[in-house]
């Protein structure tokens, strides 16, 4: 199991604290608010006042009922009514009921019953009891002191709204006391809910914080491991560029820095190798050149002084002289190539418009024999039946270049492309006559602005291309796939480009053949602006610089 690192633990703890603290503060605030609410809404005297109000309401209703009973007793105490009921005088009972009924507004009906509960007389208000708005109360009263007296049944009504209000008030007060009694349970429930929420937040925060911190520390550890490899001298390491945060920018900057360091090291190593090759070429040229003249003169002297008549020996001398002179001429040309390679001048860089430079190259293409590298003679008719197109950029594309040396690079690459096309059609060294206006291939030259602010010159052709296995060696000195080549042309091209601070690559062209790409660095002005921007950003981030 992987043990979290110190940075990962710190990030996870910071995330945990950031998540837990607000929840704890909310919990404490809710606890305080709950206690304040309880203190405000559940005062003991308030509950006592509510109970007292309900009791008063109950007493009021009881008083109304008692009053109705007293009214019924008052009616039953009427002597005339009692006498008439005792003698069952119906007419007198009805007359007396008519006299008594209007005195009691809450009456609904009065009935006088004999001892057998037979109706003797009745009076009512003329409408039945409205159950939706009224509540009735029946009060029976005896009308004599006999063991089986006649009786009076009085029905009173009271406003139902008052009784309903009493019931509602009782329910409210009961609910109040119930809530008051169970507030401790509510309080405990809220605390448990907050505690559960706190626990869940703790676990989720730990998980998410660990995952987030692991993602950050993983990329930091990856960068640290890559930097350690760089410290050991491995400049081939690259870190994955993932995400869209500052660490992503750091990874991208790290990769760019290592790429530039690798390119700088490769340029230095290449120039060192080229220097060694040039020194060796100079020595070889000196060592080979010195014996050539004596060898040639000795053979010529032998051929000149022979005065014999042996035809076979004369033919042998003629053949020997021809072979020696031909091979000596080849060696002299090779010595010239070595000498020119050894004396190759360094570049003199000046800022120029690449658009104008390529226009000059296109206009001077007919003078290839004058602009090619020393020792590499070119047949002007070589390009007669190959279409060469120039795609000039719309913008100037300013770069620091040596116009003469870089022109030799472009011309040599175009010449190689043309010759590869011709060799693929007719075989190496063949120069058949081709009808005018007939093209056997196409070469395309273009230039674009690079991603890093530099510029790139591309030479594409539709020839046989460069085998992938040979692409890493084509720029090495003396490596060639031509029967009559010296392997110095592309090596010189690379030396010139490297001295420009750039690089040259070979790849497969969209035309089907080879693509040679000359990468040139940004101009001095662009580099100065980029350095100023980087320095300003570093200073704004608190980085101390030597120019601060």
List own/partner pairs for 525-533 with CB under 8 A and 24 or more apart. 525/351, 525/398, 526/453, 530/453
pLDDT in tens, 54-87: 677 777 778 888 888 888 888 888 888 888 888 8
DSSP 497: H
Instruction: Name the residue among 427, 423, 444, 413 with its Cα closest to residue 506.
Output: 413
Q: Kindly tell me the burial class for residue 52, based on how many C-beta atoms sit within 10 Å of its own C-beta (0-12, 13-18, 19 or more).
A: exposed
DSSP 523: P
User: Which CATH code for domain 257-342?
Assistant: 1.10.287
Beta bridge mates, 142: 151
Confidence of residue 504 (pLDDT cuts 50, 70, 90): very high
User: Which CATH code for domain 350-531?
Assistant: 3.30.565.10
From the options 3.30.450, 3.30.70, 3.30.1370, 3.60.70, give the CATH code of 51-165: 3.30.450
The pTM of the full predicted model, rounded to 2 decimals, is: 0.56
In this prediction, residue 505 carries a pLDDT of 92
Q: What is the mean pLDDT of residues 449-461?
A: 87
- 151 and 113 in contact (C-beta within 8 Å)? yes
Q: What's the CA gap between 434 and 440, in Å, rounded? A: 9
- 508 and 514 in contact (C-beta within 8 Å)? yes
Confidence of residue 413 (pLDDT cuts 50, 70, 90): very high
Q: Kindly tell me the burial class for residue 81, based on how many C-beta atoms sit within 10 Å of its own C-beta (0-12, 13-18, 19 or more).
A: buried
- DSSP letter string over 300-338? HHHHHH-----HHHHHHHHHHHHHHHHHHHHHHHHHHHH
pLDDT in tens, 427-452: 665 555 555 567 788 999 999 987 77
Q: Whole-angstrom distance between the N-terminal and C-terminal Cα of the chain?
A: 47
Q: Strand pairing of 514-520 and 503-508?
A: antiparallel
In this prediction, residue 232 carries a pLDDT of 84
Confidence of residue 367 (pLDDT cuts 50, 70, 90): low
- 398 and 523 in contact (C-beta within 8 Å)? yes
DSSP 468: G
What's the number of CA atoms in the CB half-sphere (13 Å) around residue 506?
22
Give the helix/strand (H/E) hosting 391.
strand 387-391
Could you tell me where in the chain the CATH 3.30.565.10 domains are found? 350-531
pLDDT for 375 beyond 50: no
Q: Is the dihedral of CA 92, 98, 99, 105 positive or negative?
A: positive
DSSP 482: S
In this prediction, residue 5 carries a pLDDT of 60
HEC per residue, 404-462: HHHHHHHHHHHHHHHHHHHHHHHCCCCCCCCCCCCCCCEEEEEEEECCCCCEEEEEEEC
Other C-beta atoms closer than 10 Å to the C-beta of 109 total 20
Could you tell me where in the chain the CATH 1.10.287 domains are found? 257-342
- DSSP letter string over 49-68? HHHHHHHHHHHHHHHHHHHH
Q: What's the CA gap between 25 and 13, in Å, rounded? A: 18
- 155 and 138 in contact (C-beta within 8 Å)? yes
Q: Kindly tell me the burial class for residue 166, based on how many C-beta atoms sit within 10 Å of its own C-beta (0-12, 13-18, 19 or more).
A: middle
Q: Count the residues in the chain.
A: 548
83: its two tokens: 């006498």
Could you tell me where in the chain the CATH 3.30.450 domains are found? 51-165
**Alpha-carbon distances of 233 from 171, 230, 237, rounded to whole Å:** 87, 5, 10
Question: DSSP 3-state assignment of 508?
Answer: strand
In this prediction, residue 455 carries a pLDDT of 92
DSSP 279: H
Q: What is the mean pLDDT of residues 358-387?
A: 61
Q: What is the mean pLDDT of residues 328-343?
A: 73
What's the number of CA atoms in the CB half-sphere (13 Å) around residue 300?
9
In this prediction, residue 531 carries a pLDDT of 66
Confidence of residue 35 (pLDDT cuts 50, 70, 90): low
Q: What average pLDDT is seen over the chain? A: 78
């Amino acid at each position: 199991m992987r043990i979290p690192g110190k940075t990962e633990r710190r990030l996870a703890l910071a995330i945990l604290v950031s998540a837990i603290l607000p929840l704890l503060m909310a919990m404490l605030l809710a606890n305080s608010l709950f206690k304040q609410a309880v203190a405000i809404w559940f005062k003991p005297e308030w509950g006592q006042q509510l109970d007292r109000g309900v009791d008063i309401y109950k007493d009021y209703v009881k008083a109304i009922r008692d009053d109705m009973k007293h009214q019924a007793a008052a009616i039953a105490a009427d002597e005339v009514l009692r006498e008439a009921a005792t003698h069952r005088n119906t007419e007198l009972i009805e007359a007396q009921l008519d006299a008594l009924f209007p005195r009691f507004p809450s009456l609904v009906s009065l009935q006088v019953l004999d001892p057998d509960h037979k109706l003797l007389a009745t009076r009512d208000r003329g409408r039945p009891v409205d159950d939706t708005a009224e509540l009735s109360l029946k009060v029976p009263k005896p009308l004599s002191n006999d063991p089986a007296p006649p009786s009076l049944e009085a029905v009173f009504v009271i406003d139902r709204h008052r009784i309903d209000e009493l019931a509602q008030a009782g329910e409210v007060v009961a609910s109040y006391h119930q809530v008051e009694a169970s507030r401790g349970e509510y309080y405990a429930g809220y605390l448990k809910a907050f505690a559960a929420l706190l626990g869940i937040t703790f676990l989720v925060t730990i998980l998410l914080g660990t995952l987030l911190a692991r993602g950050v520390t993983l990329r930091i550890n990856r960068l640290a491991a890559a930097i350690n490899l760089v410290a050991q001298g491995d400049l081939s390491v690259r870190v994955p560029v993932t995400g869209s945060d500052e660490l992503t920018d750091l990874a991208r900057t790290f990769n760019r820095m290592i790429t530039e360091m690798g390119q700088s090291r490769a340029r230095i190593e290449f120039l060192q190798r080229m220097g060694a090759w040039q020194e060796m070429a100079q020595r070889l040229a000196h060592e080979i050149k010195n014996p050539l003249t004596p060898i040639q003169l000795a053979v010529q002297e032998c051929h000149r002084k022979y005065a014999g008549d042996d035809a076979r020996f004369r033919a042998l001398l003629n053949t020997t002289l021809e072979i020696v002179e031909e091979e000596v001429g080849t060696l002299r040309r090779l010595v010239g190539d070595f000498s020119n390679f050894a004396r190759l001048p360094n570049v003199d860089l000046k800022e120029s418009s690449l658009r104008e430079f390529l226009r000059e190259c296109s206009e001077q293409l007919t003078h290839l024999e004058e602009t090619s590298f020393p020792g590499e003679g070119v047949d002007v008719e070589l390009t007669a039946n190959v279409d060469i197109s120039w795609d000039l950029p719309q913008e100037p594309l300013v770069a620091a270049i040596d116009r003469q040396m870089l022109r030799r690079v472009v011309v040599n690459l175009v010449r190689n492309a043309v010759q590869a096309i011709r060799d693929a059609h007719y075989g190496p060294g063949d120069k058949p006559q081709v009808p005018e206006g007939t093209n056997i291939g196409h070469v395309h030259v273009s230039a674009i602005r690079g991603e890093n602010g530099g510029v790139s010159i591309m030479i594409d052709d539709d020839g046989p291309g460069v085998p992938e296995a040979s692409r890493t060696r084509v720029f090495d000195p003396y490596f060639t796939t031509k029967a009559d080549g010296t392997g110095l042309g592309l090596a010189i091209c690379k030396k010139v480009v490297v001295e420009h601070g750039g690089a040259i690559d070979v790849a497969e062209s969209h035309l089907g053949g080879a693509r040679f790409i000359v990468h040139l660095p940004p101009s001095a002005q662009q580099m100065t602006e980029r350095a100023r921007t980087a320095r300003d950003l570093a200073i704004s981030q608190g980085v101390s610089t030597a120019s601060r």
